[in-house]
């Protein structure tokens, strides 16, 4: 990520941080509605709209994104434990990270339309790709 891209990521996060939980829950809702196959990873969850588990999990996801933003120069180190969790325990197929990233972008675009310029969009797409890459790089 270039300096400009890092700045673009941080700018949005500064606004999004205090709505992080809601954005997380909404992104998951978008994921499960648009891509029902992703629900197969959550047979143990109540996935109905507004469910406590959905909100809790959305929170978890966005906290991790937030940590990556705060440590944008060392995403690999920051997400090392999460990377291992996904590789050895969760084993979510890598294709799903693209799907969730897309849904996070939709949630951000819907909430911050004027801030979400093409350049900011590109920066976030790249950033979430980096996060996804780190989370799947220990798979094999």
Partner 1 sequence: RLLIVYPWTQRFFDSFGNLSSPTAIVGNPKVRAHGKKVLTSFGEAVKNLENLKATYSKLSELHCEKLHVDPENFRLLGNILIIVLAAHFTKDFTPACQATWQKLVGVVAHALAHKY
Contacts with partner 1 by CB under 8 A lie at 26, 29-30, 33-35, 102-103, 105-107, 109-111, 113, 116, 118-119, 121-122, 125
Q: Which is nearer to partner 1, 47 or 82 (CB)?
A: 47
The structure tokens 């944008």 sit at 72
Q: Which is nearer to partner 1, 14 or 49 (CB)?
A: 49
Q: Which is nearer to partner 1, 36 or 140 (CB)?
A: 36
Q: Which is nearer to partner 1, 7 or 110 (CB)?
A: 110
* Nearest approach, Cβ of residue 105 and partner 1 (Å): 6
CA distance 52 to 55: 5
* Nearest approach, Cβ of residue 71 and partner 1 (Å): 24
Two structure tokens written together for 125: 């797409």
Q: Using an 8 Å Cβ cutoff, are 32 and 38 in contact?
A: yes
- How many angstroms separate the Cα of 21 from the Cα of each of 34, 64, 72, 118, 122? 20, 11, 20, 25, 23
Q: Using an 8 Å Cβ cutoff, are 120 and 11 in contact?
A: yes
* Nearest approach, Cβ of residue 98 and partner 1 (Å): 9
* Nearest approach, Cβ of residue 99 and partner 1 (Å): 10
Helical H segments across 90-138, by residue range: 95-111, 118-136
């Amino acid at each position: 990520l270039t300096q400009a891209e890092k700045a673009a990521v941080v700018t949005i996060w500064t606004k999004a941080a205090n709505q992080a939980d809601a954005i997380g829950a909404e992104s998951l809702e978008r994921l499960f509605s648009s891509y029902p196959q992703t629900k197969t990873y959550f047979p143990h969850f109540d996935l109905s709209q507004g469910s406590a588990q959905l909100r809790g999990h959305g929170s978890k996801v966005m906290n991790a994104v937030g940590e990556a933003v705060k440590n944008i120069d060392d995403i690999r180190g920051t997400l090392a434990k999460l990377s291992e969790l996904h590789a050895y325990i969760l084993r979510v197929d890598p294709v799903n990270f693209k799907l969730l990233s897309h849904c996070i972008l939709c949630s951000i675009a819907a909430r911050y339309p004027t801030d979400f310029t093409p350049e900011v969009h590109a920066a976030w797409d790249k950033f979430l790709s980096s996060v996804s890459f780190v989370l799947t790089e220990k798979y094999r």
